A and B are shown apart, each in its own frame.
Chain A
Amino acid sequence: MEIFLAIVAVAALGLAATSQPAYRLRRSRAVAGLLSTGWPALVIGLLLGPHVSGLIDESSLIDATPLLMIGLGWIGVIVGLQLRREVLEALPRRIVGFTVIDVVITGVVFAVVAWLGLRAWTDGQRPAELWAGMVLIASTAVAWSMETRSVRPAGESNAVQRASLAIRAGGALGAVAAIAAFGIGAALTRRLDDGIVRFDVPAAGVRLALTAVLAIALGIFGRYFLRVAGKQREHELVVFLGVVVFAAGVSAQLGLSPMLGAMLTGAVIANLGSTDLRAFERFVLKAEHTVAVFFSVLAGVLLEPRIGAGGLALVGAIVAARLIVKPLVSRAGYTLAEDDDDGPVSERPQRGLVGLRLACARQSPIAVALAVGLVLAEPSAFNQKLLAVVAFAGLACELLVLGVAAAERITTGDEMEETASA
């Protein structure tokens, strides 16, 4: 019965999201920003879940595990499909540099913040026990939301457009880095038969190697299956669902993040080169919104909102670190991305630049999916609290950045121009 309520709730959300009033609401940039990152769905999941209304019982989520697996695999494959060789080669080196700067600086800073925060929260738990949590928080801090419409001014200069492009491209590359970092990092520890978490590097090597083999094999199979499917949509659906859930499933079975195997599989499929690939991509992207809504609701149901003082302190630390570190990263990134002909972006007065600089402080939608993967593998209360920490920190950053961007637009008159033109 609970799973029925969950499904009906998701259906209602899906309908609401695609209804006319929702489309009208999305004309507002702030609402568009919030919707695109899935926060409203996550909040509704939280309200339906066992800790607020109790309409959906936690145990009923066991029934939904195959659906969660499909969701994680779907996201992983979508990210992996972006790693096509031609696309990567065409990507300006400046953007790659921007992403590398983000991964290195953010990774180091947030690993330290997470480590200190988790140690304080758990009263000095053993390193191996906190390792996965630390890797999760550091990985979720990498990258940012690729949505830029809500933080851009109405009238755009070339420089602002380039900065937006840098955010989108850097966010996409960062998502790859985040999934890889979490997948590899979290694999280094595992709970052994005696119930204690330990570092186990050789086993991690075996599992990661097998996942790579899986990805290559499944990628080759996937492309072959697509040819077998021909152009028939129902057959394509079988292939896509099968590849996605198989890749995510084997990764989970090996104790790895389900998204890692799926992402690698997507990357292999993208690089094998096939005329069927474009149809496959279109097919995948068509369902993106539906999967995102569904997944966000389930994530909301899974999280444990009672995180206590330790959890709240960690959320505060993450938000503060993001607001300090990310604008610095973005400044360095925009400098790399700027065009010499227009002069340095940072030296010219630009409307909407504050919002754009802060845009990198917004959390990537991948972050919640990574945390869900951890909860799926080990549904302990602590991991559910970690999911809540990631979600709350992301939501706080989102509201702060969108608030600043909206205030800036009002100050500069863009909002009024926009309303008038609408």
Chain B
Amino acid sequence: MSTSLRLILPCIALVLFALAADLVASVVGPPDPATATTPALVDAEREPFAAQPEALLSVGTGFGVLLLGAWLLGKFAAQLGLSKITGFLVFGILVGPYTLEVISLEQMEYLKLVNGLAIALIALTAGSEIHVPFIKKFGKAITYISVIEMGIVMVLITVLMEFMLHADDSPVVRFGGEGAAFWVALSIGTIAAANSPAVVIAIITETGARGVMAQTGLAVTVVKDLLTIIAFAVVLALAGAGIQRAAEQREGYIEAHPEYAETHPEEMALMESPETSDAAGTEGAKADASGEKKESIGVYLLKHVPGSMGAGVLVAGLMAFAALKVGAALPIVLIAASFAITLLSTALGLEPLIVGLTAGFLMSNFFGARLAHFFETVEELSMPVYAVFFSLAGCKVDPSVVQAVWHYVLALVVLRAIGTAAGCWIGGKLGRVERPARDWVWASLIPQAGIALALTQKIATEFAHWPFMEKVYAIMLSAVAVHELIGPLIFKFALGRAGEINPDADTKGGAGAH
């Protein structure tokens, strides 16, 4: 049997086993409170209680399937010369709630704890990969590439989306007018500029890549993450006024075209529902445009960048102290600290990625070899965490949505790639980055994942009251999904072309002793 079959067959068997267990559990397992006929249960003391939802009882099975299946498919992907991350993502798509339904949406909710752990580990690793001497040498190039690439991508995608929204006689224009169309397009443009340090760091770790391209790519994705977060906050703040104008235009349009209400009853019903009218009403828009909102944006930015960095300094100090003291209990410290970074940052309104990045950067650069064992532990824990994190990300992809808006998505992906390549080439040239790194660094900016998804979700929430939002959301989500899938492929290919892959690294993922 070939090595590939040795990886694929157990993967299929695992999925079939989970499906069989699900089937048997639905017949002889405990009743699901969601479908059970008796809503009020009592215990032996006749005290009422709520039964565990089926999704919670089966969360262990889901976790196990994701972990083992993604790992096997990741190894299979590596056999094919692809990135393991691609394998993890594809496995997530296959077993996710929109395809085979081995993992349900409810189960994904119960597994969100893994995301917190993953984000912190990724940030710590990414921070540790950025070294002061490198920044001194390539700081100018990193700045040029980040700013120029981001600017070009934002402009290109905004223009493209404006054009497409008009050309398609989209409800965005019909409903919201020019203002809404512009803000929607700019929002998509901002999200298009987002990258995925998680994918980049995962592939650098996987391939053991060392070189100018890998380090520049990583540094640029990190810097661009900061810039994207800032730009996004500014776009959202400015959108307040745009929404105000759009709301007025919409009302004017409906008054001038009374027949519209008759031909579009569903949209009218949606707009007239109390929830929608509250959100879309001028009250909300006025509040958005008010000084109060602007002040909160200022606080938001202050927290997100300097605040998060400050927290990162504190975390670095505490973690370094603990790592130097504990010895054998290091995994406990690391897991607890990772959860703490994510959960406490979220609670305080900080950005966990920046906190972790700062901590990782400081620990790596100022404690050096004394904390080598700490980063070895991070690397050991990375494999299971990445497998679950990226396969969960894959679970979120709905292939039918991608199919419905594929022409928008195709245009967006192609233009973004062109903009990214052009921006990186110009920035690299100005920053005097040598070839082949200059030719290939753009590939590190293709992957998108967590941050882009989070911003997409934010936009969807902000514009939830617009009837066209469903379609716009589908475009953005599909574009992120496509970048999530093709990004690792392109980046790994580019690392190979730049000659930076470590040949001794575990990139083949073969069947061990076989």
Cα A206 to Cα B24 with chains together (Å): 9
Cα A248 to Cα B63 with chains together (Å): 11
Query: With an 8 A cutoff between CB atoms, is A3 at the interface?
Result: yes
Q: Which of B28, B38, B58 has the most CB of A within 10 A?
A: B28
Interface of chain A residues 277 through 313 with chain B (CB within 8 A): 287, 290
Q: Which of A7, A234, A237, A253 has the most CB of B within 10 A?
A: A253
- A10 contacts B336, CB within 8 Å? yes
B336 to A: closest C-beta gap in Å: 3
Specify which chain A residues have a CB less than 8 angstroms from the CB of B292 in the assembled complex: none
Q: Beta-carbon contacts of B52-67 to A below 8 Å, as 1s and 0s?
A: 1010111111111101
- B17 contacts A214, CB within 8 Å? yes
Specify which chain B residues have a CB less than 8 angstroms from the CB of A252 in the assembled complex: 57-58, 60-61
Interface of A is mostly: helix
- A249 contacts B62, CB within 8 Å? yes
Interface of chain B residues 1 through 49 with chain A (CB within 8 A): 6-7, 10, 13-14, 17-18, 21-22, 24-25, 28-31, 36-38, 40-45, 47, 49
Task: Report the number of A-B residue pairs with Cβ-Cβ less than 8 Å.
Answer: 241
Other-chain residue from B17, B30, B114, B381 in contact with A191 (beta carbon distance below 8 A): B30
Interface of chain A residues 327 through 380 with chain B (CB within 8 A): 376-380
- B513 contacts A227, CB within 8 Å? yes
Interface of chain A residues 227 through 259 with chain B (CB within 8 A): 227-235, 237-239, 241-250, 252-255, 258
- A73 contacts B30, CB within 8 Å? no
- A228 contacts B29, CB within 8 Å? no
- A238 contacts B71, CB within 8 Å? yes
- B41 contacts A195, CB within 8 Å? yes
A270 to B: closest C-beta gap in Å: 19
A122 to B: closest C-beta gap in Å: 5
- A379 contacts B52, CB within 8 Å? yes
- B30 contacts A15, CB within 8 Å? no
Q: Which B residue's beta carbon lies closest to that of A20?
A: B325
- B64 contacts A230, CB within 8 Å? no
Binds A, one of B220-228, B327-335, B473-481, B496-504: B327-335
- B60 contacts A73, CB within 8 Å? yes
- A11 contacts B61, CB within 8 Å? no
- A238 contacts B60, CB within 8 Å? no
Q: Beta-carbon contacts of B357-396 to A below 8 Å, as 1s and 0s?
A: 0000000000000000000000111111001000000000
Specify which chain B residues have a CB less than 8 angstroms from the CB of A11 in the assembled complex: 332-333, 335-337, 340
Specify which chain A residues have a CB less than 8 angstroms from the CB of B65 in the assembled complex: 246
Q: Beta-carbon contacts of A185-215 to B below 8 Å, as 1s and 0s?
A: 0000011111110000001001100100010
Specify which chain A residues have a CB less than 8 angstroms from the CB of B56 in the assembled complex: 62, 65
Query: With an 8 A cutoff between CB atoms, is A64 at the interface?
Result: yes
Cα A228 to Cα B49 with chains together (Å): 45
Cα A129 to Cα B339 with chains together (Å): 39
Binds B, one of A104-112, A152-160, A217-225: A217-225
Interface of chain B residues 289 through 348 with chain A (CB within 8 A): 322, 326-329, 331-333, 335-337, 339-340, 343-344, 347
Cα A262 to Cα B66 with chains together (Å): 18
Specify which chain A residues have a CB less than 8 angstroms from the CB of B30 in the assembled complex: 190-191, 255, 377-378
B37 to A: closest C-beta gap in Å: 5
- A242 contacts B52, CB within 8 Å? no
B388 to A: closest C-beta gap in Å: 9
Interface of chain B residues 488 through 512 with chain A (CB within 8 A): 506, 511-512
A72 to B: closest C-beta gap in Å: 9
Q: Which A residue's beta carbon lies closest to that of B47?
A: A381
Supply 5 further A-B pairs (C-beta < 8 A) apart from A214-B21, A233-B380. Answer: A15-B329, A15-B333, A207-B28, A210-B21, A377-B30
11 contacts between A and B (CB under 8 A): A10-B332, A14-B332, A18-B327, A206-B28, A207-B28, A214-B17, A229-B512, A238-B384, A242-B68, A250-B64, A252-B57
Taking Cβ atoms with an 8 Å cutoff, the residues of B that contact A are 6-7, 10, 13-14, 17-18, 21-22, 24-25, 28-31, 36-38, 40-45, 47, 49, 51-52, 54, 56-65, 67-68, 71-72, 75, 110-114, 322, 326-329, 331-333, 335-337, 339-340, 343-344, 347, 379-384, 387, 506, 511-514
